[in-house]
Amino acid sequence: MLVSCRYNHLGRLGEKSDVYSFGIVLLEMITNQPVISQTSENSHITKWVSSKLICGDIIEIMDPNLRKDYDSNSAWRAVELAMSCANPSYSKRPSMSQVINELKECIMCENSRLSNNQSLESQAINIGLDSSVVPKAR
């Protein structure tokens, strides 16, 4: 769409078009939804996510195969990042270095959550509890 307009106008692609493409791929990974849906009135993934964001429920956006096993704060940040990358306005998209920094923060938040879950599992084993009742990291 806008990427191809910018390409046609300038005759080249740049970092911001790469950021847009990355945002779309990130949305696909987060949601497990196709970029274009023939069965929805919100046919483009950005429109579908935008319609879900209005409800404010991250569970509706996230891939159900994750079975809600994620930190909701890092999930929100990842969705917001993906949507900012896919912003139709070329100038409002983040730089790739900003994208990398934000992803690193999301990963640190998720790693922290996973470390806490592993700590709970270790504590359960140390006090003789059945470890199957303690949440496990994937």
Q: What is the pLDDT of residues 48-102, one digit of tens each?
A: 999 999 999 899 999 999 999 998 999 999 999 999 999 999 899 999 999 999 9
Q: At CA 97, angle to CA 32 and CA 33, rounded to 5? A: 10
Q: What is the pLDDT of residues 11-33, one digit of tens each?
A: 667 889 999 999 999 999 999 99
- CA atoms of 135 and 65, how far apart (whole Å): 17
Query: Is 0.85 topped by the overall pTM?
Result: no
